[in-house]
């Protein structure tokens, strides 16, 4: 009997030793255990991934920090999103001869768990100047760090229960970046997210399009989608903290363009169908309708200057950029016009108001406007500018960002994997008026929002 129990005890010790060895092995290889970057990921990247990434000029695989900066062409790792990370896509489609499925799975796990460093830190967790971009054709929102100029997060709306046809269109962000809002044309909904990209609220609204946010007053304004054939002739407004959306009549067809004065006291809207615009007193909700002179414009979107005295708007059909004097906010007056052609889309001002940048969708170009002379002083073309749509500017004015739908496919991705869409955000250096980086996003990038 003693011999029997000695054998049992010995077997148990052997089993425990084997299990301990397996657990230790899992931790080292990422087989469901803890992954340590310097031990489990970095050597693998340097030894087996490096040959697959030789085309990524400027990519440094020497450290976690340099890896997160990506290459001159963009990011190679998107934390929490292995499927969209370049190193995984390259490995799965081109690296069969170099990498085992276990090695790829290890890198996948590391990325999906946040691409952490040895101390457990998630990259870009402290990023403050963020740009949110909708991919209307992919039910996706991409988050770009405007310091590093790389995509650092993605928000896949399908994982939140929305359909592939959610069609996210436009985004606005609170001044301190605590929350952001996105319109979903296909879901008749506007969503509210917090800084951690967690869904915290939603508003129902028929075919929402452009958004405007009065952060001080806590009111969110909603226009209608350009794709809606005959939407209600009303603009929506709601408490940004939640509640039902109310509506105000603007009496003209296809209300689309939307902009607020800096103090939030007056909201401007315009029609895609006729040469009419509205100024709305946001306290009384009184509406004034104004006739816009000239040929049929189809005003797509407005931008208000930093000093609040001037507003500009582009006509898709006329190709004309209009300059409005809004020093008397309820009575906007067209004081000048500039024929730029090519369907001017969503303009943006430089922080000092001396320049405006106007994407021209049908010209694959961006016009640089001298606001004092009200003249075009430069035209920006180059890689990635293919049906430009939205625009944003970094707070210091150094870079302008332009989204490009590329629905015609004129831009070819740097790694044209089969089935990959080719939408972009281009980064323009305002000192040289040149495209300095092309960030590749999923299908049909449209609206953009930043603090």
Instruction: Give Cβ neighbours of residue 277 (< 8 Å, ≥ 6 apart).
Output: 257, 268, 269, 270, 271, 289, 290, 292, 299, 332
Q: Pairing mode, if any, of strands 434-441 and 445-450? A: unpaired
Tokens found for residue 183: 């319109």
Give per-residue pLDDT as tens, 232-280: 999 999 999 987 899 999 999 999 999 999 999 999 999 999 999 999 9
Residue 326 pLDDT: 98
CA-CA distance, 355 to 376, in Å (whole number)? 10
Residues 300 and 315 sit within 8 Å (Cβ to Cβ): yes
Closest CA to 270 of 305, 230, 234, 299: 299
pLDDT, one tens digit for every residue, the chain (451 residues) = 333 333 333 433 333 333 333 333 343 344 457 999 999 999 999 999 999 999 999 999 999 999 999 999 999 999 999 999 999 999 998 877 889 999 999 999 999 999 999 999 999 999 999 999 999 999 999 999 999 999 999 999 999 999 999 999 999 999 999 999 999 999 999 999 999 999 999 999 999 999 999 999 999 999 999 999 899 999 999 999 987 899 999 999 999 999 999 999 999 999 999 999 999 999 999 999 999 999 999 999 999 999 999 999 999 999 999 999 999 999 999 999 999 999 999 999 999 999 999 999 999 999 999 999 999 999 999 999 999 999 999 999 999 999 999 999 999 888 776 666 579 999 999 999 999 999 999 999 999 999 8
CA-CA distance, 181 to 8, in Å (whole number)? 63
* 93 backbone dihedrals φ, ψ, rounded to 5°: -105, -20
Residue 420 pLDDT: 61
CA-CA distance, 399 to 393, in Å (whole number)? 6
Q: Which residue has the tokens 């007193």?
A: 281
Closest CA to 365 of 390, 350, 382, 348: 382
| Domains in the chain, CATH or no CATH each | 23-112 (no CATH), 130-450 (2.130.10.10)
Residue 95 pLDDT: 75
Would you give the DSSP letter of residue 398?
A: S
3-state SS, residue 143: strand
Query: Can you say how many angstroms the Cα of residue 379 is from the centroid of all Cα atoms in its chain?
Result: 24
List, in sequence order, the alpha helices (H) in 36-117: 42-44, 64-69, 86-94, 101-112
Give per-residue pLDDT as tens, 342-376: 999 999 999 999 999 999 999 999 999 999 999 99
Residue 27 pLDDT: 36
Give per-residue pLDDT as tens, 295-321: 999 999 999 999 999 999 999 999 999
CA distances 90 to 50, 82, 85, 96, 358, Å, are 11, 11, 9, 10, 35
3-state SS, residue 442: coil
């Amino acid at each position: 009997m003693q011999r029997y129990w000695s054998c049992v005890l010995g077997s148990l010790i052997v089993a425990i030793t084997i299990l301990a060895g397996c657990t230790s092995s899992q931790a080292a290889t990422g087989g469901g255990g803890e992954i340590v970057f310097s031990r489990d990921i970095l050597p693998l990247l340097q030894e087996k991934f490096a040959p697959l990434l030789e085309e990524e000029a400027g990519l440094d695989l020497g450290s976690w920090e340099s890896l997160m900066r990506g290459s001159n062409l963009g990011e190679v790792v998107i934390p929490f999103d292995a499927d969209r990370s370049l190193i995984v896509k390259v490995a799965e489609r081109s690296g069969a001869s170099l990498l085992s499925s276990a090695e790829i799975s290890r890198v996948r796990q590391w990325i999906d768990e946040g691409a952490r460093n040895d101390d457990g830190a998630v990259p870009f967790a402290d990023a403050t100047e963020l740009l949110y971009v909708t991919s209307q054709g992919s039910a996706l929102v991409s988050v770009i760090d405007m310091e590093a100029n790389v995509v650092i997060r993605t928000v896949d709306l399908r994982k939140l229960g929305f359909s592939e046809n959610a069609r996210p269109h436009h985004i606005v962000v609170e001044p301190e970046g605590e929350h952001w809002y996105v319109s979903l044309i296909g879901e008749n909904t506007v969503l509210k997210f917090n800084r951690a990209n967690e869904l915290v609220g939603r508003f129902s609204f028929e075919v929402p399009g452009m958004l405007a946010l009065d952060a001080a007053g806590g009111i969110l304004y909603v226009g209608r989608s350009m794709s809606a054939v005959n939407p209600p002739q009303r603009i929506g407004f709601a408490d940004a903290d939640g509640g039902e959306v109310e509506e105000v009549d603007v009496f003209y067809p296809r209300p689309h363009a939307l902009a607020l004065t800096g103090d939030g006291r007056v909201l401007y809207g315009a029609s895609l169908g006729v040469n009419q615009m509205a100024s709305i007193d946001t306290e009384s909700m009184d509406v004034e309708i104004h006739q816009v002179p000239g040929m049929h414009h189809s005003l797509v979107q407005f931008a208000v200057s930093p000093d609040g005295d001037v507003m500009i708007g582009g006509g898709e059909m006329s190709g004309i950029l209009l300059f409005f004097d809004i020093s008397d906010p309820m009575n906007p007056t067209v004081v000048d016009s500039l024929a730029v052609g090519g369907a001017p889309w969503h303009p943006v001002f430089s922080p000092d108001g001396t320049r405006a940048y106007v994407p021209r969708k049908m010209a694959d170009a961006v016009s640089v406007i001298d606001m004092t002379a009200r003249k075009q002083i430069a035209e920006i073309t180059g890689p990635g500018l293919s049906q430009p749509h939205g625009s944003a500017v970094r707070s210091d004015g150094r870079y302008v960002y332009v989204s490009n739908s590329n629905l015609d496919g004129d831009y070819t991705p740097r790694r044209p994997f089969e089935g990959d869409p080719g939408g972009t955000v281009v980064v323009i250096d305002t000192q040289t008026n040149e495209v300095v980086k092309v960030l590749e996003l999923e299908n049909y990038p449209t609206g953009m929002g930043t603090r």
